[in-house]
């Protein structure tokens, strides 16, 4: 090694190494951060509302990210596992980078002690279900190990804190304007942290339009092709259980007060009179959007997930056949509407 070798000059060597490392860092990290094409946004992406943003802050504070993920990775095993969590989509069945353009920090998580929540707004759009679940998880999901969050209902939201969060996000490029900040007090007036957490939860996954097939005109005269098919009725019960319908409507479709309506009484969604089998078919296939076609108001923002993307028409008719059979069975046992 010659006397002039850089290795014999520690100061010069350190300076050169620093320059090389910094140049590499700028080229591989800093420069890409300035390129808009490497920061995609899905079309129509909107920032969270004041109430949803407050809920996101509660979600972080309570450590929900320690048990729940919010992303379905682009792996075949992940897509297959969570296929039932999503209606027909125009952009694939995994999470898209552009969905999270306004998320600071990302809340993707890495541990699934609890279920993934990436598409929770489509899986369980009912706010009533989430209120009941946060208040007493074990009542809604008996084997759940999730703690109770009923106490959040006693914590009032502070408009100033929500505005501070919005200002901070605005510096990071989230398009909150002065009008958005001014609207915060009215948006959170009388609201609690529980209201905010529920609002945030039902917003998850809705950055991409994943509306299911269904809706439109409903032919109420359409007959159920499996009304008396014993095998189809048994299949309907299996599908009812496999798609977690019981989590909202109870093990025997008898409903849960404050969560979801009875499906085997003489009403349709809690309103008399009951409607034909085709109405149940439309609701299962198209979710809450089908209520508009059926002329039943219900919850304005919807409470029923759509299963038209995951179940065939025959599968849906089989579930309806089981519901009707269950209704007849309960009536014969002297328990109209279930136990």
Minimum mean pLDDT range among 11-15, 207-211, 299-303, 318-322:
299-303
Question: What pLDDT does residue 274 have?
Answer: 80
**CA–CA distance, 308 with 42 (Å, rounded to integer):** 24
Position 14 confidence tier, pLDDT thresholds 50, 70, 90: very high
Position 6 confidence tier, pLDDT thresholds 50, 70, 90: confident
Question: What pLDDT does residue 73 have?
Answer: 85
Q: Exposure string (b/e) for 6-27, b if CB count within 10 Å is 16 or more?
A: eeeeeeeeeeeeeeeeeeeeee
Closest of 93, 66, 74 to residue 82, by C-alpha? 93
Question: What pLDDT does residue 4 have?
Answer: 65
Question: What pLDDT does residue 97 have?
Answer: 85
Question: What pLDDT does residue 137 have?
Answer: 92
Question: What pLDDT does residue 218 have?
Answer: 60
pLDDT in tens, 126-179: 788 899 999 999 988 888 899 999 999 999 999 999 999 999 999 999 999 999
Closest of 115, 83, 141, 114 to residue 259, by C-alpha? 141
Residue 10 pLDDT exceeds 80: yes
Question: What pLDDT does residue 338 have?
Answer: 58
CATH number attached to the domain at 230-332: 1.10.760.10
As a whole number, the mean pLDDT across the chain is 84
Question: What pLDDT does residue 143 have?
Answer: 84
Position 273 confidence tier, pLDDT thresholds 50, 70, 90: confident
Closest of 116, 146, 150, 120 to residue 132, by C-alpha? 150
Average pLDDT over residues 105-118: 90
3-state secondary structure of 71: coil
Question: What pLDDT does residue 31 have?
Answer: 82
Range picked from 53-62, 222-231, 281-290 for highest mean pLDDT: 53-62
Cβ neighbours around 181 below 10 Å, total? 17
Position 215 confidence tier, pLDDT thresholds 50, 70, 90: very low
Both tokens assigned to 92: 């694939």
Q: Exposure string (b/e) for 289-306, b if CB count within 10 Å is 16 or more?
A: bbbebbeeebeeebbbbb
Question: What pLDDT does residue 193 have?
Answer: 98
Average pLDDT over residues 72-88: 66
| DSSP 8-state class, residue 28 | I
Specify the fold of 50-201.
Cytochrome Bc1 Complex; Chain D, domain 2 (1.10.760)
Higher pLDDT, 146 or 269: 146
pLDDT in tens, 16-41: 999 999 999 988 888 887 787 777 88
Both tokens assigned to 33: 């951060």
**CA–CA distance, 339 with 330 (Å, rounded to integer):** 8
Question: What pLDDT does residue 17 have?
Answer: 94
Query: In sequence order, which residues have a C-beta less than 8 Å from that of residue 282 and are 6 or more positions away?
Result: 214, 218, 290, 293, 294
pLDDT in tens, 224-261: 999 889 998 999 999 998 887 888 888 888 888 777 88
- Whole-Å CA distances, 132 to 7, 19, 141: 68, 58, 10
Residue 211 pLDDT exceeds 70: no
Query: The pTM is what?
Result: 0.66
CA 76, chain centre distance (Å):
21
Query: What are the domain boundaries of the chain?
Result: 6-38, 50-201, 230-332
Question: What pLDDT does residue 254 have?
Answer: 86
110 neighbors 53 (Cβ within 8 angstroms): no
Tell me, yes or no, if the two domains 50-201 and 230-332 fold the same way.
yes
């Amino acid at each position: 090694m010659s006397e002039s070798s850089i290795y014999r000059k520690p100061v010069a060597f350190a300076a050169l190494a620093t320059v090389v490392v910094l140049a590499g860092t700028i080229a591989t990290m800093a420069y890409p951060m300035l390129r808009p094409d490497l920061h995609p946004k899905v079309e129509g992406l909107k920032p969270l509302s004041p109430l949803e943003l407050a809920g996101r802050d509660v979600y972080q504070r309570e450590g929900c990210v320690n048990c729940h993920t919010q992303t379905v990775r682009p792996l075949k095993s992940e897509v297959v596992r969570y296929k039932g969590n999503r209606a027909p989509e125009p952009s694939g069945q995994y999470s898209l980078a552009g969905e999270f353009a306004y998320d600071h920090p990302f809340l993707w998580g890495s541990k699934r002690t609890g279920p993934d929540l990436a598409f929770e707004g489509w899986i369980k759009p009912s706010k009533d279900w989430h209120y009941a679940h946060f208040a007493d998880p074990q009542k809604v999901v008996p084997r759940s190990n999730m703690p109770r969050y009923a106490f959040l209902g006693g914590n009032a939201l502070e408009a100033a804190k929500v505005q501070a969060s919005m200002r901070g996000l605005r510096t990071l490029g989230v398009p909150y304007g002065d009008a958005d900040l001014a609207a915060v007090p009215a948006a959170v007036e009388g609201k609690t942290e529980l209201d905010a957490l529920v609002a945030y939860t039902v917003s998850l996954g809705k950055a991409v339009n994943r509306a299911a097939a269904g809706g439109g005109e409903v032919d109420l005269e359409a007959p159920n092709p499996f009304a008396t098919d014993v095998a189809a009725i048994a299949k309907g019960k299996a599908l009812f259980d496999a798609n977690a319908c019981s989590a909202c409507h109870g093990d025997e479709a008898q409903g849960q007060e404050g969560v979801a309506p009875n499906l085997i009484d003489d009403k349709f969604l809690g309103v008399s009179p009951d409607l034909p089998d085709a109405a149940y078919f439309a609701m299962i296939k198209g979710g809450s959007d089908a209520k508009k076609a059926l002329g039943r108001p219900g919850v304005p923002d919807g409470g029923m997930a759509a299963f038209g993307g995951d179940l065939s028409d025959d599968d849906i008719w089989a579930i309806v056949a089981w519901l009707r059979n269950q209704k007849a069975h309960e009536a014969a046992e002297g328990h109209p509407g279930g136990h």
